[in-house]
A and B are shown apart, each in its own frame.
Chain A
Amino acid sequence: GDSVTQMEGPVTLSEEAFLTINCTYTATGYPSLFWYVQYPGEGLQLLLKATKADDKGSNKGFEATYRKETTSFHLEKGSVQVSDSAVYFCALFSGGYNKLIFGAGTRLAVHP
């Protein structure tokens, strides 16, 4: 079945460091891909998305490119801030009843 694999956390960075969180997927066809962010004590929020191969999703300085050839959707940010500390979830849309399949999440901690 369809699945999403994320790099394990926690990821600990200093402020202004470069961030990469790896995400790979297994799916039939060409699913839409998403990154969600969960700040402490809150629900998940959509961060960015890409709906077809080679699309780049971007928001709040974060970017991810849909790579069909490597079945990947890695999240990147050039300069992280303390306020970026959160759990990040990669997800794919599994067709049929519009269901999202989530990865296990990666916790990011950014220190001043």
Chain B
Amino acid sequence: NAGVTQTPKFRILKIGQSMTLQCTQDMNHNYMYWYRQDPGMGLKLIYYSVGAGITDKGEVPNGYNVSRSTTEDFPLRLELAAPSQTSVYFCASSYPVGANYGYTFGSGTRLTVV
């Protein structure tokens, strides 16, 4: 059981480039989330999804886009990379009802924009 898988683990982008961070889960979770973690800081929610075809903005959505065409996949797209997007990105998933199960996190993608 792989849980939540994120790729790539590391990436360096130049300013203005674009990329997609991949996230896949095999637990049949309806809810999926993208967070960013800046050095020494907590997690900030970028986007989340409550099921295939449904996405919504979190606290810091500017500069990002998401899609959810399947239950398993929730890619995060950066269209015009900026130095302020240098961060560690975490994808997470959870069961659809109640909070008792908590979230399952991926191992993260460390992105540097230069």
State the A residues within 8 Å of B (CB): 31-32, 34, 36, 41-46, 49, 51, 89, 93, 97-100, 102-105
Instruction: Please give the residue numbers on chain B whose beta carbons come within 8 Å of chain A beta carbons, in ascending order.
Output: 4, 31, 33, 41-43, 45, 48, 50, 56, 58, 90, 92, 94, 96-100, 102-108
Is the CB–CB distance between B107 and A98 below 8 Å?
Answer: no
Closest to B103 in A: A100
Q: List 16 additional contacts besides A49-B102, A98-B50; criterion CB under 8 Å.
A: A42-B107, A42-B108, A44-B92, A44-B105, A45-B105, A89-B42, A97-B48, A97-B50, A98-B31, A98-B96, A98-B97, A99-B48, A99-B58, A100-B99, A104-B41, A105-B42
| Pairwise interchain contact A32-B50, C-beta atoms closer than 8 A | no
Q: Chain A contacts of B90 at CB under 8 A?
A: 43-44
- Count the A-B residue pairs with Cβ separation under 8 angstroms: how many? 57
The complex places the Cα of A97 from the Cα of B92 at a distance, in Å, of 14
Residue of B whose beta carbon sits closest to that of A92: B99
A1 to B7, CA, bound (A): 33
Q: Which of B104, B105, B106 has the most CB of A within 10 A?
A: B105
Q: Is the CB of B31 within 8 A of A97?
A: yes
Taking the nearest CB of chain B, how far is it from the CB of A59, in angstroms? 12
A102 and B43 in contact, given A44-B90, A44-B105 (Cβ under 8 angstroms)? yes
Which B residues are in CB contact (< 8 Å) with A31? 99
Instruction: Assess the A98–B99 pair: CB atoms within 8 A.
Output: yes
Point out the residue from A41, A44, A45, A49 that lies within 8 Å of B100, measured CB to CB.
A49
Neighbouring B residues of A103 by C-beta, 8 Å: 42
By a CB distance below 8 angstroms, the chain A residues around B94 are 98
In the assembled complex, the CB of B22 is this many whole angstroms from the nearest CB of chain A, namely: 15
With both chains docked as a complex, state the minimum distance between the C-beta of A89 and any C-beta of chain B, in angstroms. 7
Please name 13 pairs of A and B residues whose Cβ atoms are closer than 8 Å in the assembled complex, sorted by A.
Answer: A42-B107, A43-B4, A43-B90, A43-B106, A43-B107, A43-B108, A44-B43, A44-B105, A49-B100, A49-B102, A51-B99, A98-B94, A99-B48
Instruction: Tell me the smallest distance from the CB of B5 to a CB of chain A, in Å.
Output: 11
CA distance A89 to B108 in the complex (A): 16
Is B42 a contact partner of A97 (Cβ separation < 8 A)? Answer: no
